[in-house]
Amino acid sequence: MTRPLIAGLDGSAESLAAARWAAREALLLGSRLDLVHAEEYPTTAAVPMAGPDVQRRWADTLLHETADDLRDRHPELEITTRRIEGRPFEVLSAEAAAAEMLVLGSRGLGSIVGFLVGSVGMATISATEQPVVLVRAPSLPDDETPYEETPAGLPHGDVVVGVDIHESCDKLLGFAFDEAGRRGATLRVVHAWSLPPAYSYASALEPDIQLDVGQRVTQALSDLLLPWRRRYPSVTVDEKCVAGPAAQQLLYAGDGAGLVVVGRRIRRSPLGGHIGHITHAVIHHAASPVAVVAHD
């Protein structure tokens, strides 16, 4: 049986957009959608300061109204709701352990394009080993669909994944190929590279050095993707090696994508989880939904 999807709710427009995104994803997976509210979400304009009983009634109303909204949109989808006491990142990461993925809203600020991921979101990503998808609220009226969809009702846009050909990325590629296959979308695989410091002066004297390195990097990416192409013959793959800063290139490639997929290394230590600088930049600045896939 396919495991459920978890969507965290805190009353914000971003968490509603995340719940709607998660509902469509659950239909693609044939999964149940679990809406979860952690009791200690920070107080915001949407969550006024109040006593415990008032907070619980507010949370229950939030969960039930969101579930009703999603059932109206997707009558065939199984939805459950849970209000759980505890620190948000601990509650959400614990719930995600038995789920396919965790979906969270990621707050924007005014007219700034991109994610503004707060301490709860960052702590949750670091503590969760299942994929975490961050969804930003669109600038659309409440009665419009948050994200453009194809006639079949599937999320519109390519799936973009950033890979490092020098590191193991099987889990990252597996997630990205699965997502592209379910959506019938093109998978765009991006690897950004730069010349090693030892080549920095030589390339100025001998331009063919950069061309030669670029060809070798491109071949390495093709070799990496070959078994995945064979495993997913129905997925159209567009592979691209680009010279330049990885975060910048991935943000450029992900502009207008249906989903951007990035990885983070699992670090089991007293210091807690770790989010690399490239993933950190993408989740803060990408306008498209971003999936963070933890891997060894």
pLDDT at position 152 is 39
Question: Model's pTM, two decimal places?
Answer: 0.85
Angle between helices 277-285 and 246-253 (to 10 degrees): 30
Q: Torsion-angle region of residue 170: left (phi > 0), alpha (psi -120 to 50) or beta? A: alpha
Distance between CA atoms of 32 and 29, rounded to whole angstroms? 9
Neighbours of 237 (CB within 10 A): 16
Residue 199 buriedness (CB in 10 A; 0-12 / 13-18 / 19+): middle
pLDDT at position 238 is 96
Those residues whose C-beta lies under 8 Å from the C-beta of residue 277, and which sit 6 or more positions away, are: 247
pLDDT at position 123 is 82
Q: Which residues of the chain have pLDDT under 70?
A: 1, 41-51, 107-119, 139-156, 195-207, 268-274
pLDDT at position 218 is 92
Closest CA to 289 of 3, 9, 12, 20: 20
Those residues whose C-beta lies under 8 Å from the C-beta of residue 21, and which sit 6 or more positions away, are: 103, 133, 135, 146, 147, 155, 289
Closest CA to 117 of 102, 129, 133: 133
pLDDT at position 48 is 53
